[in-house]
Amino acid sequence: MRLLQLQSDDDFSLIERIGNDIPPYAILSHTWGADEEEVTFKDLVEGTGKRKAGYRKLAFCGRQAKTDGLQYFWVDTCCIDKSSSAELSEAINSMFRWYYSAAKCYVYLSDVSTSGSARDQKSLKKIWEPLFRRSKWFTRGWTLQELLAPRVVEFFSAGGVKLGEKRGMTQMIREITGIDICVLQGKSLHHISVEDRMSWAEKRQTKREEDAAYSLLGIFNVHMPLIYGEGKDKAWRIGSLC
């Protein structure tokens, strides 16, 4: 597993850990912007990317990890070398476990703002809650497992303001997603029917059609080789394995 390690100057660098030699880490959940605006593994290796819009998410995650006493964090855009099909396949098959094992998961909602003239927390919530309920984060395929797998999920606005935690927002999240509160509170997915798990994903979208199936591997505890280009129908053979 490749991680970002915070440096004394608040910058960060890539490190690699294998087996049981993985320190406590934070993990980021977010929606991707344009591909050319996301910081990649190559950008970090070559020391470029700081001018990209996506760098703000990395900087936010690093600052929040430091605040929480964590020296390491993981971000999908740049901690996976996507030029390697073998590494990409291994990462996608490991993704649910990586989110589950994280000390904290930070959900960065780029389309939720807390700007305004709110005088207190109640007034502030009136500003962000309608945006939160409509956030595209709840419509994407990969973010389903990023909501369910981690034990601690914290939601943040685009400005880095903490909005709340999964365990304290279960009713609202239930209304948005249709996921039972007991699941949001940590009930094992093994006790949930295939039909229910599939229903949580049916209206979610992915950029690549195969990801509609690949993003559910961890939710069904399935491992399989990935073949981008095989098409949605072939990728959905996951259904016969569940």
- CA 30/CA 61 separation, integer angstroms: 11
Report, as an integer, the average pLDDT of 182-211: 94
Query: What is the pLDDT of the chain when averaged over all its residues?
Result: 91
- CA 56/CA 158 separation, integer angstroms: 9
Look up tokens 């049916």; give the residue: 202
Other Cβ atoms within 10 Å of 51 Cβ, number = 9
Which tens digit of pLDDT belongs to each residue from 94-139? 999 999 999 999 999 999 998 765 667 778 888 899 999 999 999 9
pTM: 0.93
Which tens digit of pLDDT belongs to each residue from 32-66? 999 999 999 999 999 999 999 999 999 999 999 99
> With 60 as the cut, is the pLDDT of residue 192 above it?
yes
Which tens digit of pLDDT belongs to each residue from 209-225? 899 999 999 999 988 88
pLDDT at 242: 46
Pairing mode, strands 12-16 and 72-74: unpaired
